[in-house]
Amino acid sequence: MRCPKCGFMDDKVLESRAAREGAAMRRRRLCLSCGQRFTTFEEVLREGLRVVKRDGSREEFSRQKLIGGILRACEKRPVSMNQIEALADRVTDETERENEDEVTTEAIGEKVMRELESLDEVAYVRFASVYKRFADVGQFLNAIHQIAKPKDTPGKI
């Protein structure tokens, strides 16, 4: 592993532990040249899952793109990076379990919206506005009314 500070190729692993609920390995390393400490992650490369976009084009599924979209929706909201990564892990794991070769952007978007609705309602509306391509204020209001509806409580009719 190349040191991010000096570029030296020899390092020592100080600590290893499972990360992302066992889907990755986190390693703390020490550069043997400059003494810089840095963290790396190892994860299994899952080949083959492709995303079918709205225009019919296909590209490889990217967890980083998923996190990017969630980050934009959660910008300036009280949502930690750990919560965002956990959400991305749940969506990624569910998507890979349910789909062998291809998955649509719609299926991924629905999973993200379901997760965001319970995490942060403002982030949910932001994500939904891009995902569902809101064209006017009325669509925003409908989304807000949907999440603002009082939940059914036991014993009430």
Closest C-alpha to 28, from 43, 2, 17, 85? 17
Q: How confident is the model at residue 99 (pLDDT cuts 50, 70, 90)?
A: confident
| % of the chain with per-residue pLDDT over 70 | 89
Q: How confident is the model at residue 157 (pLDDT cuts 50, 70, 90)?
A: very low
Closest C-alpha to 117, from 89, 96, 139, 146? 146
Q: Are 130 and 75 in contact (CB under 8 A)?
A: no
For the stretch 116-156, pLDDT in tens is 989 998 898 888 888 776 667 777 677 777 777 765 545 44
pTM to 2 decimals?
0.64
Q: Are 61 and 50 in contact (CB under 8 A)?
A: yes
Q: Are 134 and 143 in contact (CB under 8 A)?
A: yes
Separation CA 45–CA 124 (nearest Å) = 29
pLDDT higher at 58 or 23:
58
Separation CA 15–CA 22 (nearest Å) = 16
Question: What residues contact residue 135 under an 8 Å CB cut-off, 6+ apart?
Answer: none
Average pLDDT, the chain: 86
